Amino acid sequence: MNAVPVGSTDELAPGQRKLAFIDGRSIVLFNIDGQLHAIDNSCPHNGASLASGELDGHLLRCPAHGLRFDVKTGCMPGAPSMCLETFPVQVSEGRVLVDLRPSS
């Protein structure tokens, strides 16, 4: 895993999110019920930022056009061809690490 530190676990309590910039990329991290997920901060429909989107469980709504994405898989429910990139996340010694190689 080519992981890059993006912060500490203290910054991402359950229900919180964090925007991170890694090597020129904008990534959004979510803590959903204690599980960390990282997605590309760009809607595949038109590139809108997803960081401020409404989260309902693990479904994130794009604030621009209302498309919904599962932050676990990156895909739209019912439209598996419309996906955003997700990235592996790990925790080591209280630090949150993101691997920039897409997992989706």
The average confidence (pLDDT) of the chain is 92
pLDDT tops 90 at residue 101: no
Which pLDDT belongs to residue 1?
54
Domain ranges of the chain: 3-99
DSSP-assigned beta bridge partners for residue 97: 5, 90
Pick the CATH number of 3-99 from 3.20.20.70, 3.40.718.10, 1.10.3720.10, 2.102.10.10: 2.102.10.10
pTM score > 0.85 for this model? yes
Which pLDDT belongs to residue 100?
87
Conformational region of residue 31, where left means phi above 0, alpha means psi within -120 to 50, and beta covers everything else? beta
